Homo-oligomer: A and B are copies of this chain.
């Protein structure tokens, strides 16, 4: 019964891992991204070294935790992006999906956008990866959106690079506007969706100058 035993063992380890992840999730959602390994271990009913055996270090745990949520968010975004509708509608649906997600679970959002933390010891070796500190979920979203744009649109020569730049740019726009909106709540969601879609549709370039200028 080797297979059965090995399978049992595997599932046992996997189940443990999932239990730990769920405990970590609870703590992170309660205490924010500053949750300590001690607190997570306590919530899971065990002690620190077990966490380290399973996840290596805090970064590993956070990465595993972030991957779950990121995958879920990306799946729903992809669904909105792949809907059979006009381009403008799909863009609005995608924006709305993202904003609805961060609105519904702001703690998750906050955790996802704050994973690196720069740890206490940052040995400054590895040659200063300048862009390494970017938020992983944003990078992934940007890459995926860039791919979708490249697949769908005909942008002439240099399509691929243009699509990637746009992907990252649009994701950044969505993120920054969403973050500000989530903090100040100045208007309903639909209004922000419309405003951002309008921005992407070139209304900035089309707008007329103001008549009575700023300095008299």
Contact = CB atoms under 8 A, between A and B. Distances in A.
Interface of A: 30-34, 36, 87-88, 106-107, 109-110, 113-114, 116-122, 124, 128-134, 138-139, 142, 149, 151-155, 161-162, 164-166, 168-177, 179-184, 186-187, 191-192, 195-196, 198-211, 213-214
Contacts of A132: 183
Contact of A183 (B134, B165, B213): B134
A131 B201 contact: no
Stoichiometry (number of copies): 2
A166 B195 contact: yes
A173 B88 CA distance: 19
A214 B33 CA distance: 39
Contacts of A175: 172, 176
Nearest to A34: B122
A174 B177 contact: no
B177 A207 contact: no
